[in-house]
Amino acid sequence: MKKITMLLCLFLCLGLSAQGLDLNQPLPVNTKFKKGVLPNGMTYYIYNTDVTKGVASYYIIQNVGSILENDNQQGLAHFLEHMAFNGTKNFEGKGILNTLQKHGAVFGRDINAYTSFDETVYNMDNIPTKDGLIDTCLLVLHDWSNYLLLTDEEIDAERGVIKEEWRTRQNGRMRILQQSLPIMFNNSKYSKRLPIGLMNIVENFDYKALRDFYHDWYRTDLQAIAIVGDINVDEIEQKIKDKFSKIPAVKNPKERFYVEIPGNKEMLYNIAMDEEVSTANISFSINHPKKIKEQTIGDLKTSLLRNIATSMVSTRLGEIQQQPDAPFLAARVRFAEKAKLNNDLSIDITPKPGKQQEAFKTVMNEVNRALKFGFTDGEIDRIKKQYANYYENAISKVDDTPHGQLINAIKADYLSKQTITPIAEEYKIVQAIFSSVTKEDFNNTLKALYSKENRTLSVTGVKGKNNLTKEEGLVIINASENNSELTAYTDKFSGKTLISDVNITVGSVVSEEENKETGATIFTLSNGVKVYYKFVDKNKNDVKLVATSYGGTSLLATEDLPSANIMGNIVQMSGLGDFSATELPKVLAGKTANTSINLSDLTESISGSSTTKDVETMLQMVYLRFEKPRFDEDAYKVLQGNITNYLARKSKDINSKMQDSVTVTLYGNNNPKVRLMDKAYMEDVTFNKMKAVYLDRFKNAADFTFFVVGDVKKDALKPLLAKYIASISANTTKENYKVDPKVWTSNAIDKDIFLKMEDEKGSVRVGYKNEMKYSLKNAILASALGDILQLRVTETVREAEGGAYSPRAGASFSKRPISEGSISVGFDCNPDKVDDLLKIVHVEIKKIANGEINQTDLDKTLTNFIKERKESKDYNSYDMSLLQNYVLEGYNMNNPKNFENIISAITTKDIQKFTKTLLKGAKTYEIAFKPKQQ
């Protein structure tokens, strides 16, 4: 708080005057980012941060994407991304993955890549900076730049993986997108360049086509490397110069062209429908050409005004959305990049069933209300507070900026010339802009975005329903733009505070003790509540709260379970205390504090988070969660509409059908504790039951254990606990959960399920579970088994067979309500390979039980466990887990005997024994989905 106050004082003393702003002046550059360009044209960025100690992240950003493909290369930009993990000059085969996995990195999470229309980015995240790994990762980047092997054998092996990735992603919504692309991109090249490509090309292209694309476009003048982490910037820069300067620049390179979406005089229209899509969407957009250029203060001002103007309209739409008679479920307005040379004003609407025309009319009237009358002083003041709060928080947490956020800034700088500006200096400029802008500036900004040309209306329709036509759309737009009955928006907010009309009887802190093992302070309050508190500022200006109690839905009557399971939605949608969900954000404008509730099978809990300055607001919200929760019947009516739409959407969605089929197969059609969410289920949900369940589960604060961890000093927190937590109603009653496990229909389930599918695919689910004695070692062994099985399934099902894109395997150990180990495997796949792939899965599990375990797989897994535990200790969240495990589970995470010593002693024989025990007499299921023949 002191740091923020000093910064604000500095801004006031040194602040830019509105008159002193030169809008043509370039934005200031954050010089902490070391940026350079090698003689061969490669750009590099280096940034030192110890947000996570002892690790660094490495990226190569290719200014290359699917837009550069020739017609016979569709899909090859993405295919090439895959090939970067299948052999390079210094890492043959799976050498990159094997090398980094030995040091605890995980493929998919720490090592990955993506391809889009205009960029391809590869990453190695949070790699330890010891054991020569800095040089190793730089060598990987070096090879990714120019030295992929692209062997015939590896190319052919990857074709099947790509086909399965396409199959996994191919669903109703994807087919809707494919139908919409020509109009969305006005028949430009973008409309024919989805990165996944065409499968007839992927399965049949000549090797030369891929190598040609690689040599044409993977070159130093279109590449940037970025290294962010706990590193010495000067040393890294020298290493980059030594290693990467030797990569030859391409002679006579092809021009890196950019594609502009052309304009249009008349409104373009598209309607797309699919057998598996049963809910509508409407998108009205206006295309705006843009340039890739260095950013100025004027650009920052323009961007700021655009974001604020569209945000204020979206807020108004959100208020309408929370009214029971609103014709839409959701609507928003935004202005964002659509393509490299185009931005887009988009108005996106999810109409209620049968109300497409009314929804479009309501939203367009609201947009035109803002265009005609502008915005109120109250709206503008609140959003200025929100922006000030954002910048102040960002400044206070600048040293805690995660690697991913830093990398995103680098990507924007390299690919789009969006200047990386020091956050404090940017805030200074924003303050000067705010001091000079008027209501008319915001109104004129919106008017400039709402142009008469370059318009597109894209509708996701529903077969057999009254879908919005082009003619109807044009009539509605014209009527809204010329609606003489529109009146100015009225801001009804009264300016009250969160607890303006709440009478609080302040309690007290009756005792305080220190726990040396965890470094926690234990406060006992006058109402019997215990609060475990620890000051931690690893993450600055960040405070978390958890209050948890045993009981959950296990203590409820069976007939109350549907209402209990939906209850969290109505609590969040109703607002809090005296304020509706519409009013609450206005009350909290300029503050960073929130709370949420959760009701599970065994527990009920309240979670909260805030900045240091807003801890009091967070505790006020916790007080109100207990003492003055809000249940809004209008919000309940809105929720009913949302659920009706959800049920309609899932009724034809193939993945929802699969999940429901799994539930019925495991638990039966008439299990009162495990029911499908359908119309009958929702008929058993009532407003009064949800309210009664909440008041029952959250009625006694003393039955909750409170934890507060973060950047708040004890002397500041203590009186706030006395005022807001000690004052909550409480009694001496203590509850526990009931043991009533959900039982499968059979101990051995084996079922094939045939479903009608528009795009045929197979999908498999395999599971084992068995009661076993709980121990920390068994819990760790289960996690290790899951990770080893993931490595084996990836190697066999994905790589060797090309049968699935992303097979998922895991194992876990639950302590409550019964002590139980479990294994699960699942993936989408080629329907012709379902039975063969299932055999492979079972063989791999049995191999582990028989002791056929690669020591290298175990080493990779255990190294990852140690790596992740070490990294987690750099964050406040570790200390929250430390306190919760100490108090609720009875062990100290900081004691090596509870983790590190267990890890170091685990052998392949331990994994074998654990797996063998789990499988002996285990309950099992094998469910295979296959396409129903027409």
- Residue 298 predicted with pLDDT over 90: yes
Residue 96: how many other CB atoms lie within 10 Å:
27
Which tokens go with 401? 């900026």
Report how far residue 821's alpha carbon sits from residue 768's, in angstroms, rounded to the nearest whole number.
Answer: 8
Distance CA 622, CA 6 (A): 30
pLDDT at position 17: 53
Could you tell me the CATH superfamily of domain 34-245? Metalloenzyme, LuxS/M16 peptidase-like (3.30.830.10)
CB-based contact 588:386 (threshold 8 Å): no
How far is the CA of 910 from the CAs of 414, 558, 585, 858, 914, in angstroms? Answer: 49, 41, 53, 11, 6
- Asked if 34-245 and 509-630+656-725 have one fold, the answer is yes
**Structural tokens at position 528:** 């019997």
Amino acid at 702: A
Q: How far, in Å, CA of 838 to CA of 385, rounded?
A: 57
Residue 218: exposure state from Cβ atoms within 10 A (0-12, 13-18, ≥19): buried
- Whole-number Å distance between alpha carbons of 423 and 68: 35
* Tokens describing residue 69: 């493909």
The pLDDT tens digits for 728-742 are 999 999 999 999 889
pTM over 0.85: yes
Whole-Å CA distances, 12 to 9, 19, 304, 311: 5, 15, 21, 27
Q: Any bridge partners for residue 605, and if so which?
A: 548, 598
Tell me the per-residue pLDDT of 756-804, one tens digit each, with 9 for 90 and over. Answer: 999 999 999 999 999 999 999 999 999 999 999 999 999 999 999 999 9
Going by CATH, does the domain composed of 509-630+656-725 fall within 1.10.1760.20?
Answer: no
pLDDT at 4: 36
Residues 583/767, Cβ–Cβ less than 8 Å: no
Tokens of 671: 């299990």
Q: Which residue has the tokens 């399934």?
A: 793
- What is the spatial distance between Cα 772 and Cα 823, in angstroms, rounded to a whole number? 13
User: Please, which residues have CB within 8 angstroms of residue 117's CB and are 6 or more apart in sequence?
Assistant: 65, 66, 67, 190, 193, 195, 339, 340
Q: For residue range 321-374, what is the model confidence (pLDDT) as tens digits?
A: 999 999 999 999 999 999 999 999 999 999 999 999 999 999 999 999 999 999
Sorted by sequence, the CB contacts under 8 Å of residue 669 that are 6+ apart come out as: none
Peptide bond into 817 cis (omega under 30): yes
Could you report the per-residue pLDDT of 410-446, keeping only the tens digit for each? 999 999 999 999 999 999 999 999 999 999 999 999 9
CB 829 within 8 A of CB 837: yes
Distance CA 680, CA 684 (A): 7
Q: Which residues lie across from 115 on neighbouring strands?
A: 120
Closest residue by Cα to residue 282 from 201, 180, 372: 180
Query: Would you state the structure tokens that stand for residue 179, as one six-digit string?
Result: 């139908």
Instruction: DSSP for 146-201, please give it.
Output: H-B---HHHHHHHHHHHHHHHHHH-SHHHHHHHHHHHHHTTTSGGGG--TT--HHH
What would the DSSP string read from start to end of 94-127? THHHHHHHTTT--BTTTEEEEE-SS-EEEEEEEE
Bridge partners, residue 268, by sequence: 456
Annotated domain spans of the chain: 34-245, 268-399+415-482, 509-630+656-725, 748-931
Strands 342-351 and 223-229 turn out to be unpaired
- Summarised one tens digit per residue, pLDDT across range 27-66 is 999 999 999 999 999 999 999 999 999 999 999 999 999 9
Whether the predicted pLDDT of 9 surpasses 80:
no
Which pLDDT does position 208 carry in this prediction? 96
- Read off the pLDDT of residues 816-862 as tens digits, 9 standing for 90 and up: 999 999 999 999 999 999 999 999 999 999 999 999 999 999 999 99
Lowest mean pLDDT among 119-133, 488-502, 590-604, 727-741: 488-502
pLDDT at 20 over 80: no
Label residue 507 exposed, middle or buried (CB < 10 Å: 0-12, 13-18, 19+).
Answer: buried
Contact 647, 617 (CB under 8 A): no
Locate 255 and state its tokens.
């021009």
- Biggest distance spanned by C-alpha atoms of the chain: 81
Task: Give burial (CB, 10 Å; 0-12/13-18/19+) of 644.
Answer: middle
Task: Band the pLDDT of 494: cuts 50, 70, 90.
Answer: confident
State whether the Cα torsion 556-560-565-570 is positive or negative.
Answer: negative
Q: Which residues contact 401 (CB under 8 A, 6 or more apart)?
A: 49, 51
Q: Mention every residue, 6+ apart, whose C-beta is less than 8 A from residue 17.
A: 432, 435
For the CA atoms of 895, 896, 898, 900, the dihedral, rounded to the nearest 10 degrees, stands at: 150
**What is the model's pLDDT at position 5?**
37
> What does the block give as tokens for 395?
């400044």
What percent of the chain stands above pLDDT 70?
98
502 neighbors 387 (Cβ within 8 angstroms): no
Take residue 413 and report the two structure tokens written for it.
């700088």
Interstrand relation of 543-550 and 281-289 (parallel, antiparallel or unpaired) = unpaired
Mean pLDDT of the chain, nearest integer? 96
Evaluated on CA atoms 857, 861, 862, 866, the torsion sign reads positive
DSSP characters over 474-521: HHHHHHHHT-TT------------TTTT-------EEEEEEETTTTEE
Q: At what angle do helices 423-436 and 2-14 cross, to 10 degrees?
A: 60
| CATH 3.40.50.150 for the 268-399+415-482 domain, yes or no | no
Both tokens assigned to 126: 């949070």
Q: Which residues are within 8 A (CB) of 150 and not within 5 positions of it... i.e. 6 or more apart?
A: 83, 87, 207, 210, 211, 214
Beta sheet of 455-460, edge-to-edge order: 268-272, 455-460, 281-289, 342-351, 328-339
Query: Where do we find the tokens 């054998």?
Result: 153
Place of tokens 């003041």: 381
pLDDT band at 492 (very low <50, low <70, confident <90, very high): confident
Given a contact cutoff of 8 angstroms between Cβ atoms, the answer to whether 672 and 561 are in contact is: yes
How is residue 673 written in tokens?
């504790």
CA dist., res. 48 & res. 33, Å (int): 8
- Dist. CA 405–CA 460, nearest whole Å: 34
Q: Given pLDDT bands bounded at 50, 70 and 90, which one contains residue 501?
A: confident
Q: What angle do CA 178, 111, 539 make, to 5 degrees?
A: 105
Only one residue has tokens 């709060």, namely 389
For helices 633-652 and 561-573, angle between their N-to-C axes, nearest 10 degrees: 120
CATH topology of domain 748-931: Cytochrome Bc1 Complex; Chain A, domain 1 (3.30.830)
pLDDT tens digits, 622-649: 999 999 999 999 999 999 999 999 999 9
Query: CA 649, CA 657: separation in Å to the nearest integer?
Result: 11
Beta strands in 340-464 (DSSP E): 342-351, 455-460
Report H helices in 628-771. Answer: 633-652, 654-667, 679-683, 687-697, 714-720
Q: Which of 339, 288, 278 is nearest to 310 (CA)?
A: 288
What SS3 state is found at 706?
A: strand
* Closest alpha carbon to 776 in 616, 657, 662, 891: 891
Q: Could you give the CA distance from residue 780 to residue 760 in angstroms, rounded to a whole number?
A: 38
The SS3 assignment for 610 reads strand
Counting every residue, how long is the chain? 934
Res 14: pLDDT: 35
